[in-house]
Structures are given as structure tokens and as C-alpha cells.
Amino acid sequence: MKIGKKIRKERIINRNSKKTMIVPMDHGISSGPIKGLENLAETVEKVAEGGANAVLMQKGMTKHGHRGYGKDIGLIAHLSASTSLSPKQNYKVQVCTVEEAIKYGVDGVSVHVNVGSDTEEKQLEKLGKVSNKCDQWGMPLIAMMYPRGEKIKDEYKAEHVKHAARAGAELGADIIKTNYTGSPETFKEVVEGCPIPVIVAGGPKMENENQVLEMVEEAIIGGASGVAIGRNVFQSQDVVAMTDAISSILHQNMTAKEAKKLI
């Protein structure tokens, strides 16, 4: 591995636990100015204080999320976009290049691919090209691989999730972000079929903190290398405490029950 990519990966992955907590904040492009992201710098400060390893956002928001104070935190630029208003919202197009992202001082980039969608071939082609650029520049690449399309009846089914994860690894990603399959046993199938670290997506807002913490604990038991949780963190009642609780499960081997006491 090129030293540049190795150094950047260490900024977004805990060196001791080898796990990561990423807080995506790119929802503004897909869903608009949702609750919790009205003041981006304030939210970044809270998750940094709580112990998150990195935040993820679109290129135009990096200047709004940068604080210039407080605890340091890794930055990942998301290169893909679509809006919920589009009739083709599953078609993720590339809106930023690796070279652009480097100018923003990022520690990694991410690409979203909906495996099984009508435009799968274009999204896979994009991932392959971005992967090549990331190797040239020593930039870690996170591939967000989701099974979504007409043939996909259950996007959380292990059979589909492990195929999507493997596809991202096949095309040169360094880390895979994908759906949790519902149990440690089925998620182990995903991890075993993928030669690179797999992290779990947080998904839609859950009913309570217990559900989130239990999912995180189960995912780690199943072999996950971390989580990428947005709404279930920055829309929680106490963002700092929720971040701390999840981080403690990842890096301090706390159980969900023990971590709940931190909230």
C-alpha cells in the first residue's frame, strides 16, 4: 500500500481497535436541510467531541463544516449524488473528482453504487475509474454498495448484501459500506466473502437508542470493522453522548447495555 493511502486511512480508522465510526452528513443533497444539519460546524463539533473518527459530506459543505477549533476529526468527501425529487433517484452520478477532493484536504473519498438498479453498469464504471484515480493519488476509497433494483425484493438479504460488498472489493475499494443483514450470523457471510473491511450503514432513523446500539454490537460480533451512522447520531437528543456510546462499543469493546449508560 502506498504510504499516502496508509497515512490517510489511519486518520479515519482507529489505530488500536482497527475500527471506525463515520458520521455521514451528506443528506442535504438527497433529502434537503433535514433536522440536525442546520448548523453543520456545530454538529461536526459534537460528533468530534463524542469520539467519531470521521465525518462525510459533499464537496460544497466542507467549508461550512470546517471549524478551525476543537478536536480533530477525519474528513471524507462523497463523490456521488442524486435527489429524492428525481424520477431516477437510484442513479448516482459523479459530482466531484478525486483531484477536487484533494484540494479540500480530505482523508478519503466515497462513491455510492446501487447494485441491481437500472443504471448499475454506469455506476460500476464510475467506481472503477475512481478506484484507479485513488490508487494514483494514495487516497482511501469507501464504496457504498447497496442492493437496490427491480430484482431486489429485500435489500437486507445476506445473499444480495454479500454480492454487493464483493463487487465493491472487486473494483478496488478499500472499505465497503453496506446494509446490516439483521443478525451476526448472516453478516458474517458478508464479511467472509469480502477481502476488505466492511462497515455497516445506519439507515433510516430508528425508534430509540437501544435499537441503534444493539445493531452496532451485533454488527461487530458479525465481523464489521465499524459503522457509518448519520441520522441516528445527529438527530439524537444528545449527539455527543450518542456518539460516545457507539464509539465505546467499537473501540472499548463495551456491550450495548454498558454503552447505554453513557447516554
Among the listed residues 5, 19, 126, 146, the single catalytic one is 146
Q: How far, rounded to the nearest angstrom, does the alpha carbon of residue 77 sit from its chain's CA centroid?
A: 11
Active site residue 156: no
Q: Which residues pair with 178 in a beta bridge?
A: 200
Helix (H, G, I), strand (E, B) or coil at 74: strand
Identified catalytic residue from 5, 19, 26, 174: 26
User: Which residues fall within 8 angstroms of residue 137, CB to CB, at 6 or more apart?
Assistant: 4, 98, 99, 102
Q: How far apart, in whole angstroms, are the C-alpha atoms of residue 255 and residue 259?
A: 6
Judge residue 147's burial from the number of C-beta atoms within 10 Å of its C-beta, 0-12 exposed, 13-18 middle, 19 or more buried. Answer: buried
72 catalytically annotated: no
Which member of 59, 92, 177, 244 is catalytic? 177
* DSSP-derived pairing of the beta strands 20-24 and 198-201: unpaired
Does the active-site annotation cover 244?
A: no
DSSP notation for 178-215:
E---SSHHHHHHHHHT-SS-EEEE--SPPSSHHHHHHH
Calpha distance 146→150 (Å, rounded): 13
Active-site residue numbers?
A: 26, 146, 177
